[in-house]
Amino acid sequence: MGLILSISRNIHKAYLRTVNKNYSIEGLKGFDLKGKTLGVIGTGRIGSHVVRMASGFEMNILAYDCRQNKELKGMCKYVSMDKLLKDSDIITLHVPYCPENHHLIGSNEFGKMKRGAIVINTSRGPIVNTKTMLSALKSGKIGGAGIDVLEGEELIKEEKELLHDVKKLDLKKMRQLALDHELLNDEKVVFTPHIAFYSQEAVMRILEVTIENLIAFGKNKPINIIGW
């Protein structure tokens, strides 16, 4: 929701202007979330929280998931992927990464979106094809992107090491690194360095659940078992 608000009200652009002592509001007109359609792809624990928060903003909410969450009845409408892409003003991704979800959002999916739609990705980088996202941004097909993850984020973190060790240079990796840099330099993109989960309370919950899992496993009564 932070990324959505940052883009919808041009908060990031306004901040960068004020840093440079520019207080003009020209080109900073945003839009209200009330009445807009939010498309939520993946309604597990995280996606379902987004649905609840978005309902507080009085948004119309469409959802797509292979398993429907009955607890969200009345708050969102489950539709096909195609309809979600076609009708949503903002699309937010909350799916796990697996081979089936690699480049879940690519040229075909961007082509089905509303012109000027906004895409939010806080799941995993490879869910979205970076190259086609760049093309969609440049053509104006999508109006902006809020991303907490990158397809090649590990390359950004290891960039100095990669550039100073010729043996580690890989043409495919370098192309991805270049694409990532181009994406991050687009003024229509708001990027955070994989911190969507990172709050004091969330870190404590992770520790508590980990301890509970270890204790239960030691008693031969495993909990929080994930099935596919």
Cα 83 to its chain centre, rounded Å, is 19
Around Cβ 195, how many Cβ atoms within 10 Å?
Answer: 10
| Residue 94 is among the residues annotated as catalytic for this protein | no
Catalytic residue among 164, 194, 205, 212: 194
> Edge-to-edge, what's the strand order for the sheet holding 189-191?
77-78, 60-64, 37-41, 90-93, 117-121, 142-147, 189-191
Token pair in block for residue 150: 């990158």
H or E segment and range at residue 4: helix 2-8
Place of tokens 């995993």: 124
Catalytic residue among 124, 159, 208, 212: 124
- Are the beta carbons of 46 and 94 closer than 8 angstroms? yes
**Cβ-based neighbours of 77, under 8 Å, separated by 6 or more:** 61, 62, 63
| Residue 153 is among the residues annotated as catalytic for this protein | yes
Residue type, 141: K
| Residue 124 is among the residues annotated as catalytic for this protein | yes
Catalytic residue among 12, 109, 151, 153: 153
Residues identified as active-site? 124, 153, 194
